[in-house]
Amino acid sequence: MDPDRARGLPVRPFCVTAACDLRCAWCECCGGPTGVDFSPGSPEQPSFPTDPTHFRLVGGDPFSHGDLRAWVDWARHNPAAYVSVEGHAHRLLEAGAIDRLLAARPDAVRVLLPTLDDDLLARWTAKPLVAARSLAAMEALLAAGLPVVAVVALNAATAPHLQDTVSGLARRFQGRVPVVLLRAPVLPPRPGRLHDLAVDDPAETLTIGEALEALPAALPFDASLTFDALKNDPPCLLPASARRPGLVTAARSERALASTPAPEVCGGCAWRPRCTWRPAARAVPVHAMVPLSQAEAMAMQSALEAGAATPARVDERARRREAQGLPDLLCFAPFTSLSVHELRKRPVPCAQSWVDTTSTPEMEAEALGVPVAEVVAMNARAQELWGVPWHDVMNEDWPLREVWNAPLLRHMRRQMVRGGPSDRCRSSCRVVLGVEERGTPFLTRPDAELSAAVVANRRLLLDELRAGKAVLTALPIDLCVGVSSHCNISCGFCTGPMGNFGELSDRRFAEVVELLPTLMHFSAVGPGEPLMSAAFNRLLDHIAAGDYPSLTVSVTTNGTLLRQSWIDRYQHLRWGMIRVSLNAGSAATYERMTGKTGYFERVLAGLEMLAAMRDRQRDPFELVVSCVLGANVQGDLAPFAALVDRLGARIVLEPMTGDLDGTSPYKDPGRTRALAAECHTVADAYAIQNPPVARAFNAMATFAEERLRKRLQVILPRR
């Protein structure tokens, strides 16, 4: 497998063993030749991650010690796991060592090699020929079909030899082996690790910067060179000329929200939302840190999978915002919208699949401005009462008015005020892709069309938005809630809640009713099928009988329960949008995906009825037909587009998250390439006939091609 498949995944290290026969001056794990071995799932290790994760098995020397196969098998209990093993390779040519690795079946082997100079390594590790033996072992690993990554420890001792090391590795393996720089400061001497290297060298930052600056613009054979995702230096410590494209990783995991290393410097740095640097016990070299401007951050991010806007797009957006009388924000959704639905996780301002919702008490404490102990105590109380942490939508002691200022929303607001996107915005977001805007229509609708209560709340919201506030006293003007915990079909990309969560309770019902007078838009979605919910129909009856002149209502449904009687009952509601999740262009595909016969025709009949209701209204609502692009629907996109075009509907296409039944099209380059080609073909067919359809398919083709270009062959995370 391609080691680059791990890019974009959060990395979690697990220590297999502390045993090792080397004595590296910077190793934090070494326990000598008799060091302890750890068992999978042992209490000394981090908790087991269930989201797509890069499991990094480290040591010591896990190539020679510990039950490596048991560790890899344990990691594979996460179906979206990427597993690498990191260690010293000088003993891999011993009998049975590579067979042991092959039996364990990791996705990649990370070989620690701080220099190619055996004399230096003998001085640093107290072993002869470590480099020569390691290089020969790497050749043997490649010959055995195992992907290899060269990991170069970077500190004041190794930096002067950096150019020889990385260029030598590039030439030796002709670019086949990516080179990763692992920041590994020299540790103080202790028994078993005696050395004469400088510790806490004040000139270390300068030495490393000069070494990176001296590297050629392109390594031999265009070999890849990046900083390690866990142990790295930030761009603020590098000379501008050393900031090579792709060198510094951008945060796409929980580490992005950890405490700021140097608040007096980091607060004004445009790279901060993407920064992965966590110096731990190391002293922070504040004197050497130069915060990045927005332009510098954009230049750094251009080679990364974080969805940065181009300068041209930023200029166009600024002009549009000025004409609208609004601040220049990429997206207003964190200030206008609250979405409380799906998954046992955090509320978001848009769609769960567009936001990374991973969270820790440390992140939430920083966002709330309270001690970590207070968040831990809240979580413990909620866990005891509800079986979920405090800042979880399933905790009904957490009222919607407080949910509106949840930690994740506060964090995204702060980053959006600085221009966005937030580090929590996924690259699959349609705002990031440039396909649509979020929040703007709510802020630009004329006051004359709105009730006095809505106008007053929106004015307060705009005042707080312009002031850059992350904690809002204004109430949301767009609310989306989950209303059903059951679904009558099982799509090929979704397991659904299966009755476990998401029902509209009496308590949430009352809270929604309380917010209705200041809402401009209310929508109902899953996690199950909304039309199966009696409480949702009761809420629609309340809205129909009430006085809410500014309110529009939307629903996302699978369409299987649409009947003329239901449509007639609610035809006089002020509908904003009715979205039908069809996810197929033919009965054969629909039946293969859901296992249901006759349902496709039933959904088409419902769509025809909705289109007829739309066309006879004075103010037509928006009929939307959506499709999640998984392997199940590949080859069926042209008939899907034809159906959308015939109905005069708006199209919504979304990448598939997760890998249910192995149907993700994004983990395999061949499948991703085929999807991009099919999307381009459909887009070309509708370029003149239906430009919105063409734009939607072109956006999905671009998304797939970007993942191919950056070799991001990983399953898209669900949250």
Residue 297 tokens read as 């951050």
Q: Which residues of the chain have pLDDT under 50?
A: 1-4, 252-258, 305-312
Q: What is the 3-state secondary structure (H, E, C) of 84-122?
A: EEEECCCCCCCCCHHHHHHHHCCCEEEEECCCCCHHHHH
Q: Using CA atoms, how far apart are residues 582 and 571, in angstroms rounded to an integer?
A: 22
Q: Using CA atoms, how far apart are residues 652 and 663, in angstroms rounded to an integer?
A: 20
**Per-residue pLDDT reduced to its tens digit, 398-423:** 999 999 999 999 999 998 888 778 87
**Per-residue pLDDT reduced to its tens digit, 193-226:** 555 555 555 567 788 888 998 898 888 888 889 8
In what helix (H) or strand (E) does residue 148 lie, and over which residues does it extend? strand 148-154
Backbone phi and psi for residue 319, each to the nearest 5 degrees, phi listed first: -65, -40
Whole-angstrom CA distances from 627 to 115, 231, 641, 663 are: 51, 40, 10, 14
Alpha helices in 448-563 (DSSP H): 452-466, 506-515, 534-545
Residue 35 tokens read as 């060091």
Is the separation of the CB atoms in 553 and 571 below 8 Å?
Answer: no
Alpha-carbon dihedral 592, 594, 596, 597, rounded to 10 degrees = -40
> What's the predicted TM-score (pTM) here?
0.60
Query: CB neighbours of 75 closer than 8 A, spacing ≥ 6?
Result: 14, 40, 55, 57, 81, 83
What b/e string do you get for 192-223 counting C-beta neighbours within 10 Å, with b at 16 or more? ebebebeeeeeebbbbbbebbeebeeebbeeb
| Length in residues, the chain | 719
Query: CB neighbours of 440 closer than 8 A, spacing ≥ 6?
Result: 324, 326, 332
Domains located in the chain, CATH noted: 3-232 (3.20.20.70), 320-475 (no CATH)
- Other Cβ atoms less than 10 A from the Cβ of 285: the count is 17
Q: What is the pLDDT of residue 117?
A: 92
Percentage of the chain exceeding pLDDT 70: 89
What is the three-class DSSP state of 626? Answer: strand
Residue 631 tokens read as 């392997």
Q: Using CA atoms, how far apart are residues 319 and 604, in angstroms rounded to an integer?
A: 42
Q: Parallel, antiparallel, or unpaired for β 225-227 and 148-154? A: unpaired
585-589 contact pairs (CB < 8 A, 24+): 585/633, 585/636, 585/637, 585/638, 585/639, 585/640, 585/641, 585/642, 585/643, 586/636, 586/639, 589/632, 589/633, 589/636
- Other Cβ atoms less than 10 A from the Cβ of 304: the count is 19
